[in-house]
């Protein structure tokens, strides 16, 4: 639904290895080494901590094919104070279920500067990672004892020790890292360019371009080349101001990546986006205080038009003068950039936003107003369209903390609202019959597409490959598991035990793509289906994982109707429906 909404919005804008243990036998049974698919967490992410004076260095190796979550890194001081944390930002990664996160696929080193260490001081280091093939490890916690710290001095001195990250793999060059980051965020930066162009055609901005052009050119008789040069310099001043804003908020975002994933912060950001969008619908006005706006305008007008330096300063200052039409979208853009925490993407995206807003100015300076449309009521419609675009942001953020049914309903509601507005607007439009017919067809098609995911999810429309989710018996400890196994053995019923956690991406993929398959459900119809939710990091869940020697999730184990554990049939990692069915068949399950 999100993809459909994005495509249609852009179209409108353009037009406008594991061990196991039997429960029925006291003797252990172990997998053959050939069955091992994944290594232990200590082999995937070897961890090392060492202290040099008041600096604690934490380092992780990252095995190829595995990655660490930046947002899962935790440093909890006990009887000691962390003065500063020095670490690099992770690589941007989009997850279907958790949204945009940062990950580390190469060795990581973190330096903590410590102070005020008491007796029995320690740092509790938390981290979590996954395998790219679809296997996640439970959250890990390491207790790092802290030795007594040297006495503080008036001015901290360098120890002369430089800690280099451990590198077993060839590190990326800075150019390759930037290229990869830009490639992964290509749609983001392109969208910001289109947003900038769209903002240029709002009713608060577009009518001012002829006036701004005359001020920039200084009322001189210039050639098209000279006019283009001055207009471009003005736009660069404005765009670079936005770039600086993008870098500042992205830099701040680096310090609060974990906080920006918490439900409280996500809900707060969502409410801000909603308030910003309502201003685009005309419910109220958000803009810079009048006194500050007047001061900046006067400062800009004192610059000399027609001169390169003066024109650049005028553009830089104008980038700070937010009109009622640009304040909400610009604030939303800055909130988004702060949430991503990527310096390069933040700078480039905001640069393109400012450059896009300056494109009409360049066209007027070179060609006059010949190629630009005339001002009119259509600009108010552009402003409302931006309100709908801003409403997509809170849904994108809330997807991480609400259920899939709520997410589907929210996207559908936004889509229906947008296309219903287009439908009603086209009915009142005085446009030509052909254009009005096109808009009516487009809006009705958009409403139908928006409602389709809801119909599929609710069962109004059925799919040949998907049906309702499997019904599991939930267990919470080892005793409950043994009780369920005993009951299944007494009733001659085979058993499937699924280990699940909210932080396990592949577990959610199993539920969405495999366990929802109709053929899979028929195959498991006679099974006693048991699920252990080990999301919480508590003693009962750890005992369950230890009892069955579970290294990570997803892990699925099987017992036959006689109560015998089929150890070689154990599944670790994600399998599609076809792969899962083939696996069951190969072990005669």
CATH code: domain of residue 131: 2.60.40.1250
User: Encoding tokens for residue 376?
Assistant: 């009119």
Domain identity same for 447 and 334: no
Domain identity same for 113 and 211: no
Residues 6+ apart with CB under 8 A from 395: 2, 407, 410, 411, 414
pLDDT at 508: 87
Q: Is residue 13 included in any domain, yes or no?
A: no
Domain identity same for 479 and 338: no
Q: Is residue 238 included in any domain, yes or no?
A: yes
Instruction: State the pTM of this model.
Output: 0.47
The backbone torsions φ and ψ at residue 28, rounded to the nearest 5 degrees and listed phi first, read -80, 155
Domain identity same for 94 and 199: no
**Which CA distances in Å does 202 have to 128, 196, 377, 386?**
46, 10, 10, 9
Residues 6+ apart with CB under 8 A from 263: 401
Q: Is residue 158 included in any domain, yes or no?
A: no
Domain identity same for 453 and 485: no
CB distance 350 to 246 below 8 Å? yes
Q: Is residue 249 included in any domain, yes or no?
A: yes
CATH number at residue 518: 3.40.30.10
Domain identity same for 207 and 344: yes
Q: Is residue 388 included in any domain, yes or no?
A: no
**Which CA distances in Å does 526 have to 56, 475, 496, 512?**
55, 19, 10, 21
**Parent domain of 349:** 178-284+307-372
Q: Is residue 300 included in any domain, yes or no?
A: no
CB distance 41 to 137 below 8 Å? yes
Domain identity same for 433 and 477: no
Q: Per-residue confidence of the chain (589 residues) as pLDDT tens digits?
A: 555 554 445 445 444 433 333 333 333 333 333 345 789 999 999 999 989 889 999 999 999 999 999 989 999 999 999 999 999 989 988 877 677 789 999 999 999 999 999 889 999 999 999 999 889 999 999 999 998 888 765 444 443 333 333 333 334 443 444 444 444 556 667 778 888 887 777 655 665 566 566 655 555 566 778 778 878 888 888 888 878 876 776 665 544 444 455 677 778 878 877 887 787 787 866 554 555 456 545 544 554 444 667 777 777 766 665 444 555 566 666 666 665 556 677 678 778 888 888 887 787 777 765 555 666 676 677 778 877 877 887 887 777 677 777 888 888 899 899 889 988 888 877 777 787 888 888 888 888 888 887 666 555 444 444 445 688 999 999 999 999 999 999 999 999 999 998 888 889 889 888 998 999 999 999 999 999 999 888 889 989 998 898 988 999 999 999 999 999 999 998 999 999 999 999 988 8
Q: Which of 531, 524, 515 is nearest to 481 (CA)?
A: 531
Residue with tokens 């809170």: 394
Q: Is residue 353 included in any domain, yes or no?
A: yes
User: Encoding tokens for residue 134?
Assistant: 């679809």
3-class state of residue 131 by DSSP: strand
Domain identity same for 97 and 201: no
State the total domains in the chain: 4
pLDDT at 211: 54
- CA–CA dist 180, 177 (Å, integer): 5
Domain identity same for 450 and 483: no
Domain identity same for 425 and 489: no
Q: Is residue 356 included in any domain, yes or no?
A: yes
pLDDT at 436: 80
User: Encoding tokens for residue 588?
Assistant: 């005669």
The backbone torsions φ and ψ at residue 562, rounded to the nearest 5 degrees and listed phi first, read -90, 0
Domain identity same for 112 and 217: no
pLDDT at 41: 92
- CA–CA dist 245, 255 (Å, integer): 16
Domain identity same for 139 and 278: no
């Amino acid at each position: 639904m999100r993809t459909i909404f994005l495509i249609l919005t852009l179209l409108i804008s353009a037009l406008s290895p594991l061990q196991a243990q039997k429960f029925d036998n006291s003797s252990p049974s172990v997998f053959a080494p050939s069955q091992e698919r994944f290594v232990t967490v200590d082999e995937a992410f070897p961890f090392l901590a060492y202290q040099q004076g008041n600096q604690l260095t934490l380092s992780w190796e990252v095995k190829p094919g595995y990655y660490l979550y930046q947002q899962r890194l935790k440093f909890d001081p006990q009887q000691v104070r962390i003065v500063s944390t020095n670490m690099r930002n992770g690589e941007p990664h989009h997850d279907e279920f958790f949204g945009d996160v940062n990950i580390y696929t190469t060795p990581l080193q973190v330096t903590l500067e410590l102070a005020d260490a008491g007796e029995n001081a320690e740092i509790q280091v938390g981290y979590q990672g996954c395998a790219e093939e679809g296997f996640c490890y439970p959250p890990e916690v390491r207790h790092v004892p802290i030795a007594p710290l040297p006495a503080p001095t008036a001015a901290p001195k360098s120890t002369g020790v430089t800690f280099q990250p451990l590198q077993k793999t060839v590190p990326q060059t800075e150019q390759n890292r930037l290229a990869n980051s830009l490639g992964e965020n290509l749609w983001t930066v392109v969208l910001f360019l289109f947003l900038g162009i769209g903002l240029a055609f709002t009713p608060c901005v577009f009518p001012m371009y002829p006036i701004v052009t005359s001020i920039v050119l200084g009322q001189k008789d210039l050639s098209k080349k000279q006019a283009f040069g001055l207009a471009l310099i003005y736009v660069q001043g404005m765009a670079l101001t936005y770039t600086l804003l993008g870098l500042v908020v992205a830099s701040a975002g680096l310090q609060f990546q974990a906080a920006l994933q918490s439900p409280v912060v996500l809900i707060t950001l969502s409410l801000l986006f909603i308030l910003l969008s309502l201003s685009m619908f005309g419910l109220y006005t958000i803009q810079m205080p009048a006194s500050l706006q007047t001061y900046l305008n006067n400062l800009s007008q004192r610059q000399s038009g027609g001169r390169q330096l003066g024109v650049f300063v005028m553009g830089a200052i104008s980038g700070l003068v937010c009109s009622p039409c640009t304040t909400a979208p610009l604030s939303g853009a800055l909130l988004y950039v702060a949430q991503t925490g990527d310096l390069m993407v933040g700078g480039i995206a905001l640069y393109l936003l400012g450059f896009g807003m300056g494109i009409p100015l360049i066209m007027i300076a070179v060609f006059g107003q010949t190629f630009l449309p005339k001002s009119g009521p259509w600009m108010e419609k552009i402003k409302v369209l931006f309100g709908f675009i801003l409403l997509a942001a809170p849904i994108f953020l809330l997807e991480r903390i609400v259920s899939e049914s709520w997410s589907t309903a929210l996207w559908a509601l936004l889509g229906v609202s947008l296309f219903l507005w287009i439908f009603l607007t086209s009915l009142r439009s005085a446009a030509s019959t052909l254009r009005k017919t096109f808009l009516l067809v487009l809006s009705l098609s958009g409403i139908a597409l928006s409602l389709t995911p809801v119909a599929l999810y609710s069962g109004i429309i059925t799919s040949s490959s998907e049906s309702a989710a499997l019904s599991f018996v939930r267990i919470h400890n080892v005793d409950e598991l043994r009780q369920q196994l005993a009951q299944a053995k007494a009733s001659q019923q085979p058993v499937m035990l699924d280990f699940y956690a909210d932080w396990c991406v592949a577990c959610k993929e199993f539920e969405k793509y495999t366990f929802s398959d109709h053929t899979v459900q028929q195959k498991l119809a006679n099974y006693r289906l048991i699920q252990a939710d080990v999301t919480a990091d508590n003693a009962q869940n750890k005992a369950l994982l230890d009892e069955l020697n579970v290294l990570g999730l997803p892990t699925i184990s099987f017992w036959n109707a006689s109560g015998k554990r089929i150890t070689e049939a154990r599944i670790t990692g994600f399998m599609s429906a076809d792969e899962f069915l083939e696996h069951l068949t190969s072990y005669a399950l």
